[in-house]
Amino acid sequence: MNNIVAIVGRPNVGKSTFFNRLIQRREAIVDSVSGVTRDRNYGKSEWNGKEFSVIDTGGYIKGSDDIFEGEIRRQVELAIDEADVIIFVVDVEDGITPMDDEVAKLLRKVTKPVLLAVNKVDNAMRVDDAIEFYNLGLGEYYTIAGMSGSGTGELLDALTELLPEPEEVEEEEALPRFAVVGRPNAGKSSFINALIGEDRYIVTDIAGTTRDAIDTKYNRFGFEFNLVDTAGIRRKAKVKEDLEFYSVMRSVRAIEHSDICILMIDATRGFEGQDQSIFWLAEKNRKGVVILVNKWDLIEKDTMSTRDYEKRIREELQPFNDVPILFVSALTKQRLLKALETAVQVFENRKQRVATSKLNELMLPIIENNPPPALKGKYIKIKYCMQLPTPTPQFVFFCNLPQYVKEPYRRFIENKLRENYDFSGVPIDIYFRQK
């Protein structure tokens, strides 16, 4: 399972610059995905063949200076609870500040690995200045310069040493994995309890560690799948339930570990920023998504019809809004079966393979009638297309000048594919390549 690395520290020490450097490594390899800019606080990185998720806690702290101290303490406590490795960033220009001391005090108590990164060390004199950080009592430190990247290699070598070897994934059992995600109090637990019911149609319980989501092998109405429950993870007394960072940290693991994400939102609160963060997290990880608007029984129907409500959500999801949205009530069990059937359908859509001959038969005439706009007097000719043999739907279009194909045309192609094939709930990747 993917490891989570949290970057902590007080404001303005360069956490975000360092974070961007880490995730760019990854994004330089993978084609850039539209929608990535939505959420600058979460990314994936890879070093020495090990992949890990990075969370920049700084991006979640909002508030005036006097609120900061309490907020930072909360973020650090959360990172201690949820992350596998913690990188504590300090600033060589400022030396040790009282707030650094506070953070260090919390980190000295934990059993999890903590790496101390002294940032902004961009010349030899500053290397000597960094020595004072031994006084934080966290042992060895790494000197880095987030802007230029110097020193980050050594830090990442140390980090990957601490991560377990990637597990060999056993292929034999390809049961779909459905993760139930959403902000606190959206009704995830009630949804799962309503599905499983008193009669518990459970074949076996596969428990991860207490911190991981719990997998339940589940068989009902002829579907068999693993339900990944993020709701049932132990409640934290220390943590305020409404913390945005908390839900996102909590969801990262479940989302990366699933095929389909069932995103529950609370009808009485609407589709909020945090729901969006979780949605884009799933989209960025190329997971299938089904949105359930829960507690629909509490809404006055004359003030808000399902059509208006749905339209509003779809506007927030642009450009990827080909997603099933269902109105349910975990309490009255209304439409829960339909929700499951829809999740299974999205799972099937995600596995869908389109034959190359059929794809060319469909797409080439469409492209001929609507070719990409010429750029600098050069005409783009698309000759051939195919679906790649990847776990999620990816299509490649071969043409003479791939670098001239712009985002609006990519979207046009995607829309045509969606009109002709059912990819509802599934992100699609489209690449243009030179033959």
Concatenating the DSSP letter of every residue in 321-379 gives ----EEE-BTTTTBTHHHHHHHHHHHHHHHH----HHHHHHHHHHHHHHSPPPPBTTBP
Residue 365: band (very low, low, confident or very high) from pLDDT cuts 50, 70, 90: very high
Cα 244 from Cα 194, distance rounded (Å): 26
* 199 is annotated as contributing to ligand binding: no
Among 13-22, 133-142, 234-243, which is the least confidently predicted range? Answer: 234-243
* 197 is annotated as contributing to ligand binding: no
Residue 237: band (very low, low, confident or very high) from pLDDT cuts 50, 70, 90: very low
Cα 31 from Cα 238, distance rounded (Å): 40
Give the pLDDT score at 50.
Answer: 87
Q: Which residue has the tokens 């489209």?
A: 430
In the numeric block, which tokens belong to residue 125?
């004199």
* 406 is annotated as contributing to ligand binding: no
pLDDT of 171 above 90: no
> ω before 319 within 30° of 0 (cis)?
yes
Residue 405 CA: distances (Å) to CA of 374, 379, 380, 410, 418: 9, 10, 8, 7, 19
Among 10-24, 170-184, 220-234, 407-421, which is the least confidently predicted range? Answer: 220-234
Among 158-162, 236-240, 321-325, which is the least confidently predicted range? Answer: 236-240
Give the pLDDT score at 44.
Answer: 80
* 269 is annotated as contributing to ligand binding: no
pLDDT of 266 above 70: yes
* 183 is annotated as contributing to ligand binding: yes
* 56 is annotated as contributing to ligand binding: yes
* 238 is annotated as contributing to ligand binding: no
Q: Pick the residue with more confidence: 38 or 109?
A: 109
**pLDDT tens digits, one per residue of 133-149:** 999 989 899 999 877 88
* 43 is annotated as contributing to ligand binding: no
* 365 is annotated as contributing to ligand binding: no
Mean pLDDT of 294-310: 81
Give the pLDDT score at 211.
Answer: 39
* 14 is annotated as contributing to ligand binding: yes
Q: Pick the residue with more confidence: 79 or 269?
A: 269
Q: Pick the residue with more confidence: 263 or 73?
A: 263
* 294 is annotated as contributing to ligand binding: yes
* 49 is annotated as contributing to ligand binding: no
Distance spanning both ends of the chain, measured CA to CA: 36
In the numeric block, which tokens belong to residue 90?
């300090």
**pLDDT tens digits, one per residue of 34-92:** 333 344 577 788 888 888 888 887 655 655 556 667 777 777 887 888 788 999 999 99
Share of the chain above pLDDT 90, in %: 33
* 231 is annotated as contributing to ligand binding: yes
Nearest to 201 by CA among 219, 215, 221: 219
* 121 is annotated as contributing to ligand binding: yes
What are the E-state strand segments in 66-176? 85-91, 114-119, 141-143
* 297 is annotated as contributing to ligand binding: yes
Give the pLDDT score at 32.
Answer: 38
* 392 is annotated as contributing to ligand binding: no
Residue 202: band (very low, low, confident or very high) from pLDDT cuts 50, 70, 90: very low
* 346 is annotated as contributing to ligand binding: no
* 333 is annotated as contributing to ligand binding: no
* 295 is annotated as contributing to ligand binding: yes
Q: Measure the CA dihedral 67/68/72/73, to 10°.
A: -50
* 108 is annotated as contributing to ligand binding: no
* 393 is annotated as contributing to ligand binding: no
pLDDT of 172 above 80: no
* 145 is annotated as contributing to ligand binding: no
Residue 28: band (very low, low, confident or very high) from pLDDT cuts 50, 70, 90: very low
* 84 is annotated as contributing to ligand binding: no
* 226 is annotated as contributing to ligand binding: no
Domains of the chain with bracketed CATH: 3-162 (3.40.50.300), 177-351 (3.40.50.300), 356-434 (3.30.300.20)
* 222 is annotated as contributing to ligand binding: no
Q: Pick the residue with more confidence: 307 or 213?
A: 307
* 182 is annotated as contributing to ligand binding: yes
Name the pairing type of β-strands 214-220 and 223-229.
Answer: antiparallel
* 280 is annotated as contributing to ligand binding: no
Among 234-243, 358-367, 369-378, which is the least confidently predicted range? Answer: 234-243
Contact 399, 381 (CB under 8 A): yes
Question: Is the pTM for the entire model greater than 0.85?
Answer: no
